[in-house]
Every structure is written in C-alpha cells, then in structure tokens.
Amino acid sequence: MMHASPTLPGIDVLWPLCLEIASRRRSRQPPPAADAGAPIAWNAAGGFALQGLWDDQALELFDLLKPLLDQPRAGTPWAIGQLGQSLDGCVATHGGDSNYVNGPEMLVHLHRLRALCDAVIVGAGTAAIDNPQLTTRRVPGPHPVRVLLDPALRLPATLRVFCDRQSATLLACDAARTSEAARRVGADQVLGVPGLLRPDGSADLHALQAALQQRGLGVLFVEGGGVTVSRFIAQGCLDRLHLSIAPVIIGAGRPGLQLPRSAAMRDCLRPPGRLFRMGADVLWDLDLRAARPAD
C-alpha cells in the first residue's frame, strides 16, 4: 500500500512567523529562541534561517523577505522602497493613472511589506492623486503607521488617511509649520520635523528618518511615488529597492526613477540584485547599501 508523502509547510505557515519576528522587533524583544525544533533560527552573524523542509513557494518568499526580517531592533534607521513600473520605465500614464501597473501578486507583496515595516511613507503627489488607504487589507497583519511627506502642506484634510482612523497617520512637515498642520488635521496626526524643508524647497530625508526613529519607527517602507523613491535614493536614505517590471508599455507616461545624470557608465549605480517572479511581473531586489561607496 502506497502512502502519500506529507505536505510540506508553505506560506500559510511561514507568514505568521514573519509577523512574529516583526512584532518582536517593534517591541524591542529579542528574536524568537532557536532550538532543534524551531521552524526559524536566529544567528547573530547570519540572521534568520529556515529550518527543516518547506515547500518551494515558502522558501522563495523567505529568501525575498529575509533582508527586511534581519533588521536590528535598535540603531540607525533602515528603509526599503518599492516601485512598480512598465517595460518603458513609467509608473503611470501621463494623466496619472497607475491602476494597475502591476498584477495581483505584486499587490499582495506590497501589503506584506506594509505589515512587516514600522511605517509606510508616500509623497504628497502620490497621496493627492491616489488617495490611498495604506493598510494591509490583502494580507493578515498590522497596519503600519502612515506617513505623508508634505513639507509645503499641499494636501487636503479630506484624504482618507486623515479621516478613516484605521491606523495612526502622520503628516510630516517642517517644524515651523506644525501649528498650521495641526489646525488642518489635528495635532495627533502631525510630525513637525526640524530642518525638514531645505532652502531649495526639497525635503531633508535624513531629518525625516531621524524624527521617525525618535518615535520608534526605525524600519521604513517608502512606497512612492517615483519622485519620492528617487529622492530617497539620491540622498542615500534607501537601503533596499524592490523594483517590479510589468509586461506593459505605457508610452510618454510618468517616469519611475529620476536620478542625477552620470557622466559615464563607470559612474552609474550598480547595486547587487536578485530576480523573482511575481505572476506576470518580474521583481528586482536591489541592495542599494552594498552599492554605496564606503564612508
């Protein structure tokens, strides 16, 4: 009589373990104790590792998420960005329509990143056009703190994130405009950042990260849009980038990454990367920290 082989644990088993790791990090608890029967083991030198047998989908998801899960419980801020774009490098049509550049698998991945990070950051332009919820409604897990980067106070108080109370929301503005922002959306939803607004009108993202770190928000997810993600990269504030490419050609749309010009190919940023399939989309996991010149 033949016996069916036991089913290997999959993503449904792995995902709660990932959420537990993130929860312990937020509460500054040590990693889960590792023993011979533990499904995930922690090693200070190598970070988290799966133990035992798992199905292929769980192994691939863990491999993709491991750099985020390994982040320390204290210290300097760490940020991961995500950008979904077309084959010709656009994140939206010329009029701003971005629904949907990527397929459903990437949307699930987006919500997983939200659930594992302390806060999700979007720029004022993306918030105004998309009016996003920035929740984890596609996966089990906690909603992140929602941070809207709006140094010039352009956003209306009617946006869903200011009204729905599904999760904590912070309107990040220059400290000099804290009172004005509080009158718009309430003092509990304002983060006044000293020195956020630079003389050229752009945001000092190091100052933003420091202010969020002081609130215990050290692992950040920069979700968009293209301008905001590009500025995080240009200022050296993004450690990792998940760049997803969809099999669509938009043509004369809104560009994704917009970085300063390089004079020669040898000067271009060449981050180590790994490739993952997400349904019809291709996801590049790019290690920007490793691509930076040594201090």
Q: Are 254 and 211 in contact (CB under 8 A)?
A: no
For 142-163, what is the mean pLDDT? 96
Instruction: Return d(Cα 74, Cα 194) in angstroms, integer.
Output: 22
Confidence class of residue 269 from pLDDT cuts 50, 70 and 90? confident
Q: Which of 198, 133, 200, 130 is nearest to 161 (CA)?
A: 133
Listed range (1-5, 79-83, 119-123) with the worst mean pLDDT: 1-5
Neighbours of 30 (CB within 10 A): 9
Residues recorded for the chain: 295
Q: Exposure pattern of 47-60 as b/e (b: 16+ CB <10 Å)?
A: ebebeeebeeebbe
* Residue matched to tokens 């991945």: 109
Confidence class of residue 69 from pLDDT cuts 50, 70 and 90? very high
> What's the mean pLDDT when you consider all of the chain?
92
Q: Is the pTM of this model over 0.85?
A: yes
* Residue matched to tokens 């956020």: 196
HSE on the CB side for 217, CA within 13 Å?
23
Residue 149: strand pairing partners: 123, 172
**DSSP structure string for 182-231:** HHHH-GGGEEEETT-B-TTS-B-HHHHHHHHHHTT--EEEEEE-HHHHHH
**pLDDT tens column, 96-138:** 777 778 999 999 999 999 999 999 999 999 999 899 999 999 9
Q: Which residues contact 218 (CB under 8 A, 6 or more apart)?
A: 71, 74, 75, 76, 77, 78, 118, 212
- Check residue 73 and give its pLDDT: 66
Residue 20 burial by CB count (10 A; 0-12/13-18/19+): exposed, middle or buried? middle
- Whole-angstrom CA distances from 269 to 68, 87, 89, 115, 286 are 21, 20, 17, 29, 11
**pLDDT tens column, 205-250:** 999 999 999 999 999 999 988 999 999 999 999 999 999 999 999 9
Does position 12 have pLDDT exceeding 90, yes or no?
yes
Structure tokens at 261: 């010009």
